[in-house]
Each structure stands twice: as C-alpha cells, then as structure tokens.
Amino acid sequence: MIGRAIGEVLALGVGVALSPLAIVALVVMLVAPGGVRPAWTFFGAWILSLCVVSTVVLLLADGADASENGAPATWANVVKIVVGFLLVVFAVREWRGRERAEGETDAPGWMRKLDSVTVPKAAGLATLFVVKPKNLLLTIGAGVAVAEVGASPTGQAVAVAVFVAVATGGLGIPLSIHVFMAKRGRGLLIELRDWMVRDNATIIAVLCLIIAAKLVGDALISLTR
C-alpha cells in the first residue's frame, strides 16, 4: 500500500515542483543584495505550507471514507475528474495569455519588489504560491489520492512526505546552484530566471494538461471497473 500511495503522488509532486514563478521569486531573492535569508525563509515556508495543505486534505478525505476496501470511493474519483477539468481550464487560460506575456520585455512589478523583500513577506509569498490555483489543485489531488489508497497512517505519512519532497525539488535547484556553485552560480541563476519568466505560461499549460489527463484517466478506469 505504501508503494501504491507514493506512486499516486509522484506526478502531482512534479507538477507542483515545476512552478516557474515560485522558482523565479526564489532566484530573484538569491541574486539580490541581502536576499539569502528571505530566500531560505521562502523555501521553509513553502515546505510548511505544502505539509499543512496536503495533510488537511488527506485527513478530510480519510474521514470521508475515500477508500472502500482498498479501492477509491466514487466521490474520490469524481473529485479527481473535477480537479482534472479545472487544470484543463487553467491550462487553456495560461496558453491563451502566453503571447501577451512573451511580448513584455520589462520585469514584472512584483519581481522588482523582491529585491528588498523582508523575511516575513518572503514567508507569506511562499504560502501564496502554494495556494495559487495550479498548486492548490495538485495538492488537493495528492491528498485525495493518498486517502483513497487505504494505506496505514504510517504509509500515508510517508506518501505525504514524498509528495512534499518532490514538490520542493524545483526550488532546490536554484538553492543548490547558490550553495555549490558560488563563482558561476549568479550567472546560471539569472539565465534560469529569464527562461522561466519567458516560458512560464507554456510550461504551466503543458504540465497541467498532462497531469489532468492522468487524473481523469485514473478516475475513469476506477469508475468503470
């Protein structure tokens, strides 16, 4: 059961990890004067927020009997279909707005403000990114997916921990560059920032469509058994 629970959340964790604007925010903090403390605070608040949201969803879904003798309850499959549909809607919105975003040459206003962000504001910003539509939908999907497997409390805790770890991987890349590549790190971070700002909409749209297909496909298979 633990392996199955972990398997359910891997793709969802990758979806959260590939959050271009959250990664960009962290990169801007790292390259700004005095931005290291806010950057690490952002990282910690991101992890804490993911833990809280995924755990709350898991407990609610578990309490509502998301698993019926080890098989997903009908309502749990419906939730996955709804989440998948909302991800498609979100992907279409991002895709339609990509041309306007690509035409902008100046850095967004919120990015310029990060040059002097405080530690409390960095923590709040991380929480905000976690509860933005795409990440919130994926985290809800993860909580429901773990609950519907019917794993033991230990198995559920392990699955949530794996989800959070995978979902934090995207932020771990710029932090690793900053820590282990001190001399070349700044240039690489700036290149990473520019690429993710430029292709943010495309990355999110494609990612949401792929994960939506997985969620809806899994739910339909379960409902038709």
Q: Where are the domains of the chain?
A: 2-223
Phi and psi of 95, rounded to 5°?
-65, -40
Q: How far apart are CA 144 and CA 56, in angstroms?
A: 10
Average pLDDT over every residue of 16-37? 85
Q: Answer whether residue 102 shows pLDDT above 60.
A: no
Average pLDDT over every residue of 46-66? 92
Query: What is the reported pLDDT for 108?
Result: 58
Neighbour count for residue 187 (Cβ, 10 Å): 12
Q: How far apart are CA 10 and CA 13, in angstroms?
A: 5
CB 125 within 8 A of CB 49: no
Q: 23-46 burial, b for 16+ CB within 10 Å, e for fewer?
A: bbbbbbbbbeeebeebbbbbbebb
Radius of gyration of the chain (CA): 18
Strands (E), 120-190: none
Q: How far apart are CA 209 and CA 133, in angstroms?
A: 14
**Lowest-confidence pick of 105-109, 143-147, 199-203:** 105-109
DSSP state of 106: S
Helix (H, G, I), strand (E, B) or coil at 108: coil
Model confidence pLDDT, tens digit, residues 122-170: 999 999 999 988 899 999 999 998 888 888 889 899 999 999 999 999 9
Average pLDDT over every residue of 192-207? 79
pLDDT bucket at 203, cuts 50 / 70 / 90: confident
Highest average pLDDT, of 16-25, 39-48, 201-210, comes from 39-48
pTM for the complete prediction? 0.85
Mean pLDDT of the chain: 85
Q: How far apart are CA 50 and CA 122, in angstroms?
A: 15
Angle formed by the axes of helices 20-31 and 200-223, nearest 10°: 140
